[in-house]
Amino acid sequence: MNYQAIRLRHQDGVAVITLNRPEVMNALNTQMRAEILHAVREAEKTARAIVLTGEGRAFCSGQDLGDKASVGSTDLERTLRDEYLPMLRAIYDCAVPTISAVNGAAAGAGANLALAADVVIAADSAVFVQAFTRIGLIPDAGGTYWLPRQMGFAKAMGAALFAEPITARQASDWGMIWEAVPDAGFEEHWRARAAKLASGPTVAYRHLKQAMRTTFENGLEEQLLLEARLQGNCGQTRDFKEGVIAFLEKRTATYEGR
């Protein structure tokens, strides 16, 4: 696919998807959503980790309100159902670990796009804004799903109602994201994080994601049984055998992802 609204680059097992509409702070339009969906599906076939980041001073400013294809019709339900849902599910259900490297402002649907990844790493200068009520809307693009689970109900409700900026440090302290790091060296940091995941046990990561994401739906016994089944699968992999041997030999394991 000839990407125009994003860039897709592969290096050493890591696929980096860069939102590339800096002139509008990487606002999401119909084309960008389709390209993100396609890029994630393409990348997970060969990459061992995927990073989503933004070009320029913003990560993503949210829905492009000037995009007549998705906003001008006022059919927001169709846009969310047919365009946002598949894109977000592709990221959330991705077979390999995903990182959102939030380099700047993440607002509205852009903030919630970031939260769809397994891990969110933000530069200190980044801010997250649930801006929806400023224009008479409710949080969408997964906001009402991820925020209460990651921040707790009280913080999530305040973030949604007041639509005030949340700094990267606040987001980290509140459990909304994994970490906030200094702007200086930000890219080097997230690239190192991505490289670590790309060199890790891919099957174990996939099962880990499955177990973590069903925990809120299962009782204790159901979760223990799921852990047992998934761990049994992990125990049959070459990666497990390599991990044990490497531990006993006091060396770094070399995982093949199977």
Question: How many angstroms separate the CA atoms of 96 and 80, rounded?
Answer: 25
User: Please, which pLDDT band fits residue 82 given cuts at 50, 70 and 90?
Assistant: very high
Whether the domain at 6-198 and the domain at 202-248 fall into the same CATH topology? no
Average pLDDT, the chain: 94
Cα–Cα distance measured from residue 159 to residue 151, given in angstroms and rounded to the nearest whole number: 10
User: Which pLDDT tens digit goes with each residue over 9-58?
Assistant: 999 999 999 999 999 999 999 999 999 999 999 999 999 999 999 999 99
Question: pLDDT class for 1, splitting at 50, 70, 90?
Answer: confident
**What class does CATH assign to 6-198?**
alpha beta
pLDDT-based confidence at 6, cuts 50/70/90? very high
**Position 181 pLDDT exceeds 70:** yes
Find, among 80, 81, 116, 107, the residue nearest to 209 by Cα: 116
The full set of domain ranges for the chain reads 6-198, 202-248
Average pLDDT over residues 192-212: 96
In terms of CATH, what superfamily is 202-248? Answer: Lyase 2-enoyl-coa Hydratase, Chain  A, domain 2 (1.10.12.10)
Q: Is 49 helix (H, G, I), strand (E, B) or coil?
A: strand
pLDDT at 258 over 70: no
Q: What is the pLDDT of residue 68?
A: 66
Is the whole model's pTM more than 0.75, yes or no? yes
